Amino acid sequence: TLPEKKLVFKGLVTNKEDANKLTLTPWIRYPVLGGSALITFEKAEVAQRIIEMKEHVVELSYGEELEELEQCRVRVQAAPVDILLPSALEIGLTRSSRSILVSDLPSLGIPEEALLDKLELFFSKRKNGGGEVESRGFLDNSSQVVLTFVQDGVAEPLIAKGCIQALIGKGKYELKISPCISGDITNLKFQPSRCPRTVLLSGIPDVLGEDPMRDTLEIHFQKASRGGGEVDALAYVPAGRRGVAVFVEDAG
């Protein structure tokens, strides 16, 4: 069972403690329709007060942008933001019999493909405990390389050594050899969760430019006299467009 986490909206996107622990970082994408805004307050009680009021009258005063109307008012609706969070996760792990994970690679200042060539050349030689390499490549967003051999029985002796002195170019370096383990999600359950500091505003008419409307909303909802308070983040999506909000774990 996964621990409950409080999430908070921090922005809008457009287009080693214990090796036996699995740490999941929430990264929840939430669709935002046009004519809506997400606003996160510093205090949860302010957000709850805004939600309880349900409807808010916001004064707009941007002269020329309102086509000669010096001032007008719009009504917007406030609602809570509910999202689905993983509550239970099961992962099936499989250890490859023909692949190894190579780490502690030297910084040689050469292109990745050139380094992969040198690693393949070293590990393809039987005198180095290797064999014919079927594939090689860097793990995504890491400096570790996965080497897969054509035949069984090559990877396990290398993994048993734990590390190996490798001649790469003109230097000799100690590389770490680890098993290559892949995982597949076998069971995933979700539970609803309400964001305590974030409010969804809807029904916003397209009567101001994007930046002026964002500023107007923030000014209005920061006023204590309107039930508001200090705003931590605000994103507005004009009518006729769509956006995707990213919710991350609330650090407080």
Tell me the fold of 90-185: Alpha-Beta Plaits (3.30.70)
pLDDT at 4 over 70: no
Across-strand partners of 72? 60
How many other C-beta atoms can be found within 10 angstroms of the C-beta atom of residue 91? Answer: 11
Which helix (H) or strand (E) segment is 62 a member of? none
- Give per-residue pLDDT as tens, 202-245: 999 988 889 999 999 999 999 999 999 999 999 999 999 999 99
Q: What is the mean pLDDT of residues 136-152?
A: 92
**What residues does each domain of the chain span?**
7-85+188-249, 90-185
pLDDT at 98 over 90: yes
pLDDT at site 252: 59
Q: Three-class SS of residue 4?
A: coil
How many other C-beta atoms can be found within 10 angstroms of the C-beta atom of residue 238? Answer: 18
Structure tokens, 18: 């214990």
CA nearest neighbour of 40 among 227, 229, 211, 202: 229
pTM for this predicted structure: 0.60
Question: How far is the C-alpha of 71 from the C-alpha of 187, rounded, in Å?
Answer: 55
pLDDT at site 11: 53
- Give per-residue pLDDT as tens, 30-85: 999 999 999 999 999 999 999 999 999 998 865 444 454 445 888 999 999 999 88
